[in-house]
Structure 1
Amino acid sequence: MNGETILVTGAAGFVGASVARAFGAAGYRVRVLVRASSPRDNLLGLDAEIVTADLMDPGAVAAACGGAAGVVHVAADYRLWARDPEEIVRNNRTQTENVMRSALAAGVQRIVHTSSVATLGLDRLPADETDPLTHDLAIGAYKRSKVVAERLVEAMIAADGLPAVIVNPSTPIGPRDVRPTPTGRIIVEAATGKIPAFVDTGLNLVHVDDVARGHVLAFERGRIGERYILGGQDVSLRTMLGDIARLVGRKPPTISLPRGPLFPLAWAAEAVAQITGREPFLTADALRMAGHHMYFTSAKAEAELGYTARPYGVALADALAWFGAAGMLR
């Protein structure tokens, strides 16, 4: 299918920018859909047709899908906190539905829906694709929104013949994290000496460019209706913070804190955020999620797609180099 047009949503964002570049490098003609208000920094140097539209506008999304052989839906409201948490759920559900229905109506041959490991349960570690999370067990509005969106896509695959493959990235890190993402904020705060302690948790870290390449592989080789974890390496928060400290020449934090006493701080931070509108660094939902070691395996994607991921330390070094060049580590 090389040479055909692929529409990528969310290409102004962290993951979307890498996905758009990966499809371009694979020989596809890339069309990107971005909001008028989106910063264009991540589009610099990208060889793509730029369509300005709002994913909440079904007509505009339908027009953007016209003539595309494939659609890759990366865009999402990626916030772990909002004054109205249900706004996150509404946004991600409505945007996903608009993209999927428009792609189906346009006769798009293949769709990749970017979900998240947030839609998977953690009953077994490392977790895999066989344990989908139910809406009522999802911690926080963002996780609920991703579960709702993924289940919508699955329902359309079953009922409408939607030609979609689902990918579930773990926790991407690396260059072009302009916002930055919640994990990017941890990297920046740790690198600037503002995280003196840690809680006992862990996550699966992966280079954003490996996730992007995984999208191309899913588009070309993935089975319709299947989900594929695109992950990297399981890492404890203590190890991550220690590695960041060593890379920037700081002393690693050695204080381990229980989660319980941190909840009042999170509630206070959220109360201040209700006034300022600025997303707090610490939230109660984040502390609840930290009660789990969020470890995942990409064995299915490796076996079926030929997916691989570089060592997490390379991703961490690339992230720090980009944040440094962007002036965010001063």
Structure 2
Amino acid sequence: MLLVTGATGFIGSAVVATLHAHGHPVRAVVRDPARADVLPDGVERVAADLADTESLARAMDGCEGVFHLAAAVGAPGPEARELNVGGTRRVVDAVRRAGVRRLVHTSTSAAICVPDPGGPGCVVDEDAVGGTALTDTYSATKAEAEAVVLDAVAEGGLDAVVATVVNAYGPSPRGPLSYDQLLAAAARGAVGDIVDTRVGWTLAEDVAEGQLLAYTGGAAGRRYVLCGEVASFPEVLDTYCRFAGSEHRVRVLPQGSELGPDAPPFADRSVVYGKLGGYRVRDDGARALGFAPRGIAEGLELTARWMPGA
């Protein structure tokens, strides 16, 4: 049995679907029963709270593996720290109490975006140490959460791997959330300006496959970066517009630029990464596990077909 926290979220629901499709029995942590409609038939539902170690341990009873995806995105500082850091610490404690064999902790490229020793900008490196160059609450608390897991491996013998997700988009049982919102806004003509900076992009479905690879073949204490392709925000948005049949094209701003207050959700990430000079990715470990994600062109075409009316 495999347990998934954040099971009804954008990526979590894709992970549940993938595990189920591969024949694994899955138990999904569900806080809001109204959101459980995205879960496949045959997936067990269980109530648990990241604020309560005992409820987590009970939910994990009889489980061989745990995929921890629940996280606070866009929450105020204290709330984000309580869920992302405190919640992860309680997941680690519950894994130990329940005798779970392996934990897959889902992190983000924003947690390991460090200055690039090989040139300008930053690098998202599977071997990165020392946190992140990003200072926003989400990035900082996810970096702290990752440290909780890796410290438990180094000091307490926990069997855990970290699956680091770059900007996720594309089909998900949860629907068009995350960067899909930015893609759809561009196709509607609602994205005027965007900063010209390069970051990684990965289909949610491919992220889920990468999580399973990390679980089955990853080495304890290792981080695996799940990245499809590095491309600029303008390239991604304009390519999506073409596949969606939209004539709209974004106006490109240089790195270091700001966007107006009416910028759509996730457009501000081009500003954040633009101030760092963008980033490149080192993901040799994930590729060695057999991770073979689709590139931008294939992924965006698939997304345009899946997201009609965008």
Aligned to 1:275: none
Residue of 11, 14, 23 corresponding to 1:15? 11
Q: SS of 1:165's equivalent?
A: strand
Aligned to 2:128: 131
State whether residues 133 and 147 of structure 1, in contact with CA within 8 Å, keep that contact through their aligned partners in structure 2.
Answer: no
Q: SS of 2:258's equivalent?
A: helix
Aligned to 1:166: 162
Alignment root-mean-square deviation, CA: 2.4
State whether residues 62 and 102 of structure 1, in contact with CA within 8 Å, keep that contact through their aligned partners in structure 2.
Answer: yes
Aligned to 2:119: none
State whether residues 196 and 270 of structure 2, in contact with CA within 8 Å, keep that contact through their aligned partners in structure 1.
Answer: no
Aligned to 1:323: 307
Which amino acid is the alignment partner of residue 106 of structure 2? Answer: T
1:228 offset after TM fit, Å? 0.7
Question: Does residue 298 of the first structure (1) align with residue 290 of the second (2)?
Answer: no
Which amino acid is the alignment partner of residue 253 of structure 1? Answer: R
* Distance (Å, rounded) in 2 between the aligned partners of 1:36 and 1:58: 19
TM-score (norm 1): 0.84
Which amino acid is the alignment partner of residue 29 of structure 2? Answer: L
State whether residues 102 and 160 of structure 2, in contact with CA within 8 Å, keep that contact through their aligned partners in structure 1.
Answer: yes
* Distance (Å, rounded) in 2 between the aligned partners of 1:176 and 1:311: 17
Q: SS of 2:35's equivalent?
A: coil
Closer/same/farther in 2, CA of residues 96 and 46 from structure 1, 3 Å limit = farther
1:284 offset after TM fit, Å? 6.7
Q: How does 1:31-180 map to 2 (within 5 A)?
A: 31-36=27-32, 39-43=35-39, 45-79=40-74, 82=75, 84-124=76-116, 127-134=124-131, 137-176=133-172, 178=174, 180=176
* Distance (Å, rounded) in 2 between the aligned partners of 1:109 and 1:19: 19
Residue of 215, 229, 241 corresponding to 1:245? 241
Closer/same/farther in 2, CA of residues 6 and 254 from structure 1, 3 Å limit = closer
Aligned to 1:274: none
Aligned to 1:277: none
State whether residues 139 and 285 of structure 1, in contact with CA within 8 Å, keep that contact through their aligned partners in structure 2.
Answer: no
Structure 1 stretches of 5 or more lacking a match?
271-279
State whether residues 233 and 311 of structure 1, in contact with CA within 8 Å, keep that contact through their aligned partners in structure 2.
Answer: yes
1:40 offset after TM fit, Å? 2.5
Higher helix share: 1
* Distance (Å, rounded) in 1 between the aligned partners of 2:187 and 2:173: 15
Residue of 202, 208, 212 corresponding to 2:204? 208
* Distance (Å, rounded) in 2 between the aligned partners of 1:110 and 1:261: 43
State whether residues 232 and 298 of structure 1, in contact with CA within 8 Å, keep that contact through their aligned partners in structure 2.
Answer: no
Partner deviation per Cα, 1:289-312 (whole Å, 9 max, x = no partner): 332313313222111x11111122
- Aligned-residue sequence identity (percent) comes to 31
Aligned residues: 304
State whether residues 119 and 133 of structure 1, in contact with CA within 8 Å, keep that contact through their aligned partners in structure 2.
Answer: no
Structure 2 stretches of 5 or more lacking a match?
117-121
Q: SS of 1:7's equivalent?
A: strand
